[in-house]
């Protein structure tokens, strides 16, 4: 397993650590772990492209690792009663839909890598989660707003993936 793929796996491992820290009332530590995990997303992609280490495993697992990390945190916010469920429903629906598209595409011999819209969406989601981890008690309205902004970017990304990969739906 190459370094970018190890970083992706490391991100997946840090997701339940972040969740445990959030659920046990340790937002500062949860935020730090979440931030470290999020930074690995930049480095795994950068290293993979720079040193020609892009793999099919990485194309599939990198976005999945992002989903696991973000969903874990969002579910903790719901468990703690600090966010509205609807932005999470939008984010979850998009992620499941695009993951399903990727499965269908693989069956057709195509790999759908993350697009620019997907990368922007991920960064906005990461910012929203990180902001909310640190400020959920002090600025609950601001946290709700940034999560709704993340949901809007998620919807835009969803539409872009459909149009960019419309051939996946054809038999």
Residue 115 pLDDT: 84
pLDDT-based confidence at 27, cuts 50/70/90? very high
Percentage of the residues of the chain whose pLDDT score is greater than 90:
75
Residue 110 pLDDT: 86
Q: What is the count of structural domains for the chain?
A: 1
pLDDT-based confidence at 134, cuts 50/70/90? very high
DSSP 93-140: HHHHHHHHHHHHHHHTT------HHHHHHHHHHHHHHHHHHHHTTT-H
- Average pLDDT score over the chain: 93
Residue 21 pLDDT: 98
Closest CA to 70 of 50, 41, 43, 112: 41
Mean pLDDT value across residues 42-52: 94
Are 101 and 161 within 8 A, CB to CB? yes
d(CA 101, CA 115): 13
Query: What range defines the domain where residue 34 resides?
Result: 3-169
Higher pLDDT, 134 or 60: 134
* Each residue's pLDDT tens digit, 57-114: 998 898 889 999 999 999 999 999 888 899 999 999 999 999 899 889 988 888 887 7
Tell me which residue has tokens 């902001």. Answer: 131
Residue 148 pLDDT: 97
Q: Any idea what the CATH number is for the domain that residue 23 is in? A: 1.20.120.1760
* Each residue's pLDDT tens digit, 139-154: 999 999 999 999 999 9
pLDDT-based confidence at 170, cuts 50/70/90? confident
Residue 48 pLDDT: 95
């Amino acid at each position: 397993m190459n370094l970018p793929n190890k970083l992706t796996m490391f991100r997946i491992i840090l997701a339940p650590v972040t969740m445990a820290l959030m659920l046990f009332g340790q937002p500062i530590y949860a935020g730090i772990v979440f931030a470290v995990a999020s930074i690995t997303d930049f480095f795994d992609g950068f290293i993979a492209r720079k040193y020609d280490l892009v793999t099919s495993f990485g194309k599939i697992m990198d976005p999945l690792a992002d989903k696991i990390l973000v969903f874990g945190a969002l579910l903790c916010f719901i468990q703690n009663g600090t966010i509205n469920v609807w932005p999470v429903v939008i984010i979850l629906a998009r992620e499941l839909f695009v993951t399903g598209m990727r499965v269908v595409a693989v069956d057709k011999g195509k790999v759908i890598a993350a697009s620019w819209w997907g990368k922007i969406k991920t960064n906005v989601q990461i910012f929203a989660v990180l902001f909310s981890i640190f400020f959920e008690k002090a600025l609950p309205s601001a946290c709700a707003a940034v999560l709704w902004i993340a949901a809007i970017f998620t919807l835009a990304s969803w539409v872009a993936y459909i149009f960019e990969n419309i051939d996946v739906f054809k038999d």
